[in-house]
Structure 1
């Protein structure tokens, strides 16, 4: 900045004023990103999180339980439902439980279950059982930790935006995890996919060769790259701004993916 202002010595005041305006606009952009990100999190607060702090009782009648499904709808598969093992170790798709919703959220609860037709299991005593008790944590399937279910990823949404965008997807609970309600549910998740671009590489190119648009070319933004190339990085102003924007992660790959 000092070098450019020394070159434009007669208009030094105007030069400093221009840089001041650019700095104010950049700070305003960063504040908007932070406010948008925080508001998106606060607005998405789920009621069960507040209920968990109070230790409330789950009594929602709107969530259908697997007990409502008939045994014929849950056909056993010998490859996934081995016979002869402990009943409590069977996957969730191999048993039919009578879940009730009057348990305290986050606390262990006991439910009566039976293996599906064609599946044989034994209890702790070694005797075959047709009914057994299963103890699980009282929570609906959509309240599980993200590590306990798998969702379909989307590569059609932008990850670099303010606030960060979300997408609707379908999630399935892992086979060994037991929970109350439907094992397949809808979820609204943040865009979280990558195209293989490295943040460190983009930042290094922006600092060293940013005046020639190398950083923009690397990120797949060839129009902006040509603009920087033929304007010598906007006489240094564009180069400085890109270093800051790439450094904070606001400017990302053109395909909308995350850095790695």
Structure 2
């Protein structure tokens, strides 16, 4: 005897086949991820990188060299990948699998707070320019009493916006978790939304 399936039976069958398809997808993804690939090529979510250790003096990562620092990354549990020496290893989630470079700023001892304070209170004497390593401009501001006030105001704005920095090309020391200014620039990879004609 054959019976027609009612809507509830169809729903159960559909649910069963979707679960079976989902399981095949998960198994395929796990197999693909754990097939002896390099640990550096793991996908996002298959590893967790540790936070960088921040130096109290420089407010940057302790191992910051040439605008990059290295952090330890731990592959997820049950992920198998090749280490840098070529051996395959199955991770439990507590071992370091590889190191990843993160961006950092090169600082050499010039504090942003000190530069802004000097510019605000003693800028008319050129103290801000002396502090940042521009002695000729410091003497010029001192001799002209801050270019009659306008130069002092312009310098304060330039230092506060971090347009003028230390003379050695380094960055200011700014609190790591504080308010930092990031310059955004437009390049060849910038998407420009077209304007609609009215």
Same fold (TM over 0.5): no
